[in-house]
Structure 1
């Protein structure tokens, strides 16, 4: 009987880390539903109300001064070190790097650029809207206040709304926005809300922001997250353009880099057997040298050279001496008495 091993939680985690063979077709893209439009409208009304309350120096400004005079960092000094580190979760640089690393892995795993493009669009909207509001209203912070009870508007400051709070809402909220299941979206939404709430209250504790700055920062970040579905068509077109450009670059590289030709073996020079010189069977046989070896040029002595046909014929015995008619070979008849007498 065959039994299959039950997958542990670690096995499921490693399975999630594997890259999917192709882009999933069930990616959930949030739509601009009526519920989302109602939330966007109510958040926008809250945003306008906070700005108006600060402009007219209402009870909200008096509450800001009361919290500032309370000095929370002096009331609970034991948590000051922790808050100094915790407020980093609202700084744009570190949070953008961490979230971009996670969404980059999501892009690689699902074969899509949508997570990174959505992060880029949200950060661009954050810089434009929050930056314009900061420098447009020019409110000074609690440490630089000039007159007790005033709203400190249009004095060259840049703290209204709170950039730390708005950045925490957007950068951690984009993880919930890109969640693939409704359950994961709910959990990540709650986690990002608690993180952004803690970052905003940390700035109030440290005395770097008014309480109204934090309230407006929450509203500014939430408006960006709620408006992201309106930019989904732009994200889709940008992804198609980038992927098409990538494919054209790959095709261009394939055309400009031809496949290397296989190495050809040098052709072997045929061996030619020359007839024995002078008719002798035991004469050495000369074989030509292979063409793969470099041949040294032959240097001839100066002067006229004769061809092989004009040279002196070789004797049968292999001697190159010219024949003499008056010389008698040894052991031949007719030598007479000359053969007996030897010097």
Structure 2
């Protein structure tokens, strides 16, 4: 099948009958409040070096990557599902396809808002708390806080929750939303556990990363009005730009535009003070004397061919020497004077 037919069919595909935009319901509000309380509790438990920090050290000293080394090659690739660059490109490609088919920018704008919230909130906490990772720990049993690190909360885990969870958030049917919610939860839990297995994060880092990503997904309905206004503004700008292009294409040529070139005879008009060219003697319709007027473009009347020896000497063609003064006066009435140029 030809590609133009495929694209034409996709362009004619109607928008889904009903796209429900999630709102901040009571259930979602309760979940947001509970997750926020869990987030604060994890941060507080690490700050006071509670039992959670002791559990972090026990898991780190257990060294899971040495206990199950056969899993290491696979999990090295699996953890990429939590890296921000590759996952953002994959999810953005899918949501861009959906935006094109449904003629809406909401999927891409929702992804952009979620990633912006992720970078701002998680990045600020990382830099503010400054916790060191397991491979850089300096004192056993210490929380390693405010030491210049940037691993608390786990960015891999939070990014996996947001980038894969946004697919479930944007699902158009309840069945698709359930399936995508399970899939995104499995990927997010697996990425967080993998970072603990590889020894790149403490267990508390992963717990806080799960909570940070879930908070962003639960807060997205608050940003839906802004997403809608941004989409309307983008479409308005596009419509205005297309209108200007059509107007410029349909506008006729200006009245003072370049005219068609004049005929060859009129391309070089005579200057105002230029004297008219001199005609050969006898070219006028009257009798003797020098005739004046516009320069003649036609040829003289042909004469019978004569041998070279019988031809009368004439003035050279193109000569600017004026004819003799008494030559025109000596002409007999009724006879045509001899032309200057030869026949």
Global fold match (TM > 0.5) = yes
Correspondence 1:189 to 2:181 = yes
Please show how residues 224-303 of structure 1 align to structure 2 within 5 Å.
224-258=216-250
In the other structure, the counterpart of 1:167 is 159
Would the aligned equivalents of 1:19 and 1:110 in 2 still touch at CA under 8 Å? no
Aligned residue number for residue 139 of structure 2: 147
Residue in structure 2 matched with residue 26 of structure 1 by the alignment: 18
User: Which runs of structure 1 show a deviation greater than 6 angstroms over 4 or more consecutive aligned residues?
Assistant: 291-297
How big is the alpha-carbon RMSD for the aligned residues of Structure 1 and Structure 2? 3.1
How much does 1:78 deviate? 1.1
Change (3 A) 1:293 1:115: same
Matches of 1:77 and 1:151, distance apart in 2: 27
TM-aligned CA distance change 1:305 to 1:109, over 3 Å: farther
Paired position in structure 2 for 1:135: 127
1:122-155 Cα deviation digits (max 9, x unpaired): 0010011100110111110000001100111111
Is 1:125 matched with 2:126? no
Contact map agreement 1:62 1:149 (CA 8 A) in 2? yes
Q: Does 1:204 align with 2:230?
A: no
**Alpha-carbon deviation of 1:256?**
2.1
Aligned match for 1:47, one of 39, 48, 66? 39
**Secondary structure at 2:144 match in 1:** coil
TM-fit CA distance, 1:212: 0.4
Residue 18 of structure 1: how far off its partner (Å): 2.7
Determine the structure 2 residue equivalent to 1:38: 30
The separation in 1 between residues aligned to 2:246 and 2:212, in whole angstroms, is: 48
Q: How does 1:302-321 map to 2 (within 5 A)?
A: 304-307=280-283, 309-310=285-286
Question: Normalization by structure 2: what TM-score?
Answer: 0.73
Deviations 1:51-108 (A, max 9, x none): 1111111111111000000101111111111111111110000100111101111111
- In the other structure, the counterpart of 1:115 is 107
Task: Determine the C-alpha separation between the residues in 2 that align with 1:177 and 1:28.
Answer: 10
Check whether the contact 1:96–1:171 (CA below 8 A) recurs between aligned residues.
yes
Aligned twin of 1:106:
98
Gaps of 5+ in 1: 1-13, 262-290, 313-317, 322-343
Deviations 1:175-218 (A, max 9, x none): 11110101100100000000011100111011000000000000
| Alpha-carbon distance in 2 for matches of 1:182, 1:73 | 39
Alpha-carbon shift at residue 293 of structure 1 (Å): 9.3
Tell me how far 1:257 sits from its aligned partner: 2.5
Using the size of structure 1 for normalisation, the TM-score is: 0.73
Which structure 2 residue ranges, 5 or more long, are not aligned?
A: 1-5, 254-261, 269-276, 289-300, 305-343
Specify the alignment match of 1:85 in structure 2. Answer: 77
- For the residues of structure 1 that align with 2:281 and 2:125, how far apart are their CA atoms? 104
Partner of 1:95: 87
- The corresponding residue for 2:213 is 221
Using the alignment, how far apart are the partners of 2:179 and 2:281 within structure 1? 103
| Pair 1:20–1:215, CA change in 2 (3 A) | farther
Shift of 1:311: 8.6
Residue in structure 2 matched with residue 331 of structure 1 by the alignment: none
